[in-house]
Amino acid sequence: MPKTLFCLIYYLILSFNYSFSEVKSNKNFLRSEKNSTLQDSAIVLKPKANPLKSLLDALKFKKNAITKEQQRVKLLIEKIIKKDTSLVTVKNLEDFKRELAESNKEQFQTLLDLIKELKISENSQSTETVVTDPSIPKPFKLTKEPDPNDKYINDLVDKLIPILTNNKDEQEKKKDRQQQLKLLREVYSKNSAHIDTINDSTLMKYRLKLGHKAEVLGIYPFDSKNIPGDYNLSTLSTLIYDRYEIDPITGLPRNFNRWEDATIINSVKDAGAKVILTVNTNNSLETAKFLTNVTARKKLIANTLDLLEQRDADGVNISLTGLNKKLRPLFVEFISALSKTYRLKPKQYQIIITLPIYDENNAYDITSLDDLTDRFIIDFSKKPNNFPGPIAPLNDDSDYSIQSSVSRYLNIGIPPYKFILGLTYYGAEFERNNRSGVENFKRYISYSQIRLDHQYAPVSYNKDQAFASIETRNDQGNLTGHIYYDNENSLEQKYDFVIQNGLGGVAIRDLGADEGYGELWDLLATKFISIDTVSQELIPIKPLKAKDLSIWGFIKTNSIAYYHALQYPCDAKHDTQDKRFLGLINLILGLSSIIIIIVLIYQIKDKGEKWKWKKLLIKILIVLINLFIITIFMWLYIDRRFPWFGSGENCIPVSFVRLLIVIFISIFIGSVIMRLLIFPVIKQDEKP
């Protein structure tokens, strides 16, 4: 009996290992491997006499599934390549990837479960079986070396499962983001009132408004041809208008001729955002000339102040190039004079200073500048060196990563909220030298141009440093360089870094650089726009009663509803009246007044001024006209489309009756004043 049990266990292990080694190796190798293994085992079982044949056939579903998938992939490849196997374009590969992705969406959970099952349990590699029951005889001790195929499969599965799981999490994250965007767009479109069902007996009615978790600054070059008209500018808290290029001799601007009529400024201000003007120099020589020229500094301060007042703007962003240690005290002196002049004005103008990624020359006296400025922008819009790689890596071993830069500035002792992380919608393209293989910087390229020119190129993503990259190739398929840029995944990591570290926000260069592709703008909104509840109230759901369908029932129900709505205009639970009821009353009063006027005119013409019903009809007409005016006011009072007047978004909780009393008292007081003070003076003037 023990010998039989040993044979069965040993045969199962060999069969199990064989099924997986067959997936990795080719058929000929597997056939020879199987024959040699069976010869060494000294166990010869004929296929017909094999008692485990049906069991083994059932266990081969994994092999069969893999074989079918291989055949499907092979057909896809043959379909793409067709007859010419020497040429596979990037578009072909993208189509292939898309078709596989669609297949994965349909069978994602099945694929994930199958891969989890593929992992060979380490218990199957145990060298000894533990028997706890002493009555059961101990089996033979089986010593077996770990199969390298098992380790290979386990390692592969360990890599596949996180990838597929992360993909599933990513789909859930995108779904949540779409729901948030839907709600944001509803608030953007002024649809801020919502009703949710809490339970079977309660409703909640609430209103929403938009806020910012952190500041969102958008940099817009004055000569830009990209006008982000399709974007909702409410996402921005500030527009940075770039730029006032300083003439170091005079302090006046050069190449600055669109500030007066820039439509983007009007659009941003209508959206409720601030406007900041960037003041900059082109190089270190101009910076030195300007800071050492006291007259130019004074002229710039006065001129920028006039420009800010001209467009009702909110401040300046000082971005001087090539500042060095020798100019450090002069720069503090300039900012101090700027701040003192701006603070004298009734409007509190902001002063922002743009800092380099790494202040190697110790040119910025941050401690002294802290009291003089409102924000610092750490500028990651340009690459600090010529080495191939991303413009703004989140974390690496250099001194130019986001984490390193922010840590250096925070260690000075400045609060985190004063620092803005300046990022860019541009990528850095590097060109490869065919002879040396070295890649050199070629140009900056906008996100929209990257998407347009390389829409079928495979995108690599570095999660540790948070950047995306694309290999550029020529028509022959040879590598010609790389493009390093930020997509929605890398920007999401950097936005999370801003929020988690309590930084003041982000500044994006340039608005419009992603023209035609809205995913970056959507990400900006979902990360930094907060949706706050302005007001909320619980509304009990009363049991439905049988409606009185008679005319009297209609009048009674709506009269009560209108009474409550006029008495409590800000309480949404009383907004249940039939709007047609008051319209019908207005129509009846209006028509009745017109009919009485026609009758009066006709009878007076026919029977003269002494017609006996004249006074009565005039009194009735006066009453009807007054009632008509009051019902018109009632309609305006309960209509939520009119803010500050009765109900609405900015509701004032004053009942309609009290409002009428105030109006009538005002009319009475006005009449008394006219009767006692004005009329006597007029009559006195009329006496000869």
Q: Which amino acid is at 218?
A: G
* b/e 221-249 (16+ beta carbons within 10 angstroms → b): bbebebebeebbbbbbbbbbbbbbbbbbe
Q: Which residues contact 534 (CB under 8 A, 6 or more apart)?
A: 192, 206, 207, 208, 209, 649
CA gap 204, 572 in Å, rounded: 10
Q: Are strands 426-432 and 439-446 parallel, antiparallel or unpaired?
A: antiparallel
- Closest by Cα among 252, 419, 425, 304 to 352: 419
DSSP single-letter state for residue 372: T
- Closest by Cα among 554, 576, 587, 586 to 647: 576
Confidence of residue 443 (pLDDT cuts 50, 70, 90): very high
Q: Which residues contact 294 (CB under 8 A, 6 or more apart)?
A: none
Higher local confidence (pLDDT), 75 or 265: 265
Burial (CB count within 10 angstroms: exposed 0-12, middle 13-18, buried 19+), residue 383: buried
CA gap 61, 53 in Å, rounded: 14
| Residue 329 burial (CB count, 10 A) | 12
pLDDT value, residue 573: 57
Q: Which two tokens stand for residue 177?
A: 């983001």
* b/e 435-468 (16+ beta carbons within 10 angstroms → b): eeeebeebebbbbbbbeeebeebeeeebeebbbb
pLDDT value, residue 294: 96
Do residues 328 and 335 make contact, with C-beta atoms less than 8 angstroms apart?
A: no
Q: Are strands 315-319 and 274-280 parallel, antiparallel or unpaired?
A: parallel
What percent of the chain has pLDDT above 90? 37
Burial (CB count within 10 angstroms: exposed 0-12, middle 13-18, buried 19+), residue 376: buried
Mean pLDDT for the chain overall: 76
Q: Are strands 419-424 and 505-509 parallel, antiparallel or unpaired?
A: parallel
Interval 1-38: pLDDT, tens: 444 444 444 444 444 444 444 434 444 443 444 444 44
pLDDT value, residue 79: 56
* Total count of residues recorded for the chain: 688
pLDDT value, residue 109: 54
Higher local confidence (pLDDT), 26 or 470: 470
Q: Is the per-residue pLDDT at 140 higher than 90?
A: no
Q: Is the per-residue pLDDT at 410 higher than 90?
A: yes
Q: Which two tokens stand for residue 281?
A: 């120099």
CA gap 645, 628 in Å, rounded: 19
CA gap 617, 133 in Å, rounded: 113
pLDDT value, residue 586: 79
Cα 439 versus chain centre, distance: 35
Q: Is the per-residue pLDDT at 111 higher than 80?
A: no
Lowest-confidence pick of 181-185, 523-527, 621-625 = 181-185
- Closest by Cα among 63, 78, 81 to 18: 63
Q: What separation in angstroms does the CA of 472 have from each of 88, 347, 466, 540?
A: 15, 51, 20, 63
Helix axes 284-291, 294-310, angle to 10 degrees: 100
Higher local confidence (pLDDT), 66 or 592: 592
Q: Is the per-residue pLDDT at 147 higher than 70?
A: no
Do residues 373 and 335 make contact, with C-beta atoms less than 8 angstroms apart?
A: yes
Whole-model pTM? 0.59
CA gap 205, 572 in Å, rounded: 7
CA gap 328, 547 in Å, rounded: 81
Radius of gyration of the chain (CA): 40
Q: E strands along 474-528, which residues?
A: 479-485, 505-509
Mean pLDDT over 219-227 rounds to 79
Bond preceding residue 510 cis, omega within 30 of 0: yes
pLDDT value, residue 129: 43
Interval 313-329: pLDDT, tens: 999 999 999 999 999 99
